[in-house]
Amino acid sequence: RPKAMQAVGSAVGANHIAYLIPCHRVIRKDGLLGAYRWSATRKKSIIGWELAQTDGGVDV
């Protein structure tokens, strides 16, 4: 559903309250991290930190 993907992309891009709505967790359908309003590096860091907080964290 291309329209649904566009809607998600628009919502994520317009998110000004990322600490309440964790849009950094949106991953592309091909498994890549994709873009992030505050940089792909920050997105990777946040996801990596979250994974490290779980049992048997996964390297991103």
* Residue 40: strand, helix, or coil: helix
Active-site positions? 23
How far apart CA 34 and CA 9 sit, in angstroms, is 10
Dihedral in degrees, nearest 10, Cα atoms 56, 33, 1, 10 = 120
